[in-house]
Amino acid sequence: EVQLLESGGGLVQPGGSLRLSCAASGFTFITYAMSWVRRAPGKGLEWVSTAGGTTYYADSVKGRFTISRDSSRNTLYLQMNSLRAEDTAVYYCAKGGDNLSYFDFWGQGTLVTVSS
């Protein structure tokens, strides 16, 4: 059974940093692309970043967020720097499907609140 468990969310001041983690199990981690998707309060889903053979970022986070993965720990990370109020959201870890085009399993999410 595929399981994705996010951690690392919390309250941080504007301009601060936070690192999210996603522990994966139930599949061969190295084989699949992994992504972060967020949902801000009262808004829809927004793709943030994907790590496969290459890393990809949404324009809204490029230069501030860094995605990485540790295959020895089956863990995905998102280092978030220079955080802004508009980064406040629930951040979901998602596993890529058999091609890169969709996300077939999701974690329950971790809440990041950027506020002074």
Which positions lie near other proteins, rule CB under 8 A? 35, 37, 44-47, 50, 56, 58-59, 92, 94, 97, 99-109
Is 42:25 a contact under the CB 8 Å cutoff? no
Least distance to other proteins from the beta carbon of 35, Å?
7
Least distance to other proteins from the beta carbon of 104, Å?
5
Least distance to other proteins from the beta carbon of 102, Å?
4
* Residue closer to other proteins, measured from CB, 52 or 88: 52
* Residue closer to other proteins, measured from CB, 17 or 50: 50
* Residue closer to other proteins, measured from CB, 59 or 72: 59
Q: What is the 3-state secondary structure (H, E, C) of the chain?
A: CCEEEEECCEEECCCCCEEEEEEEECCCHHHCCEEEEEECCCCCEEEEEEECCCEEECCCCCCCEEEEEECCCCEEEEEECCCCHHHCEEEEEEEECCCCCCEEEECCCEEEEECC
* Residue closer to other proteins, measured from CB, 60 or 81: 60
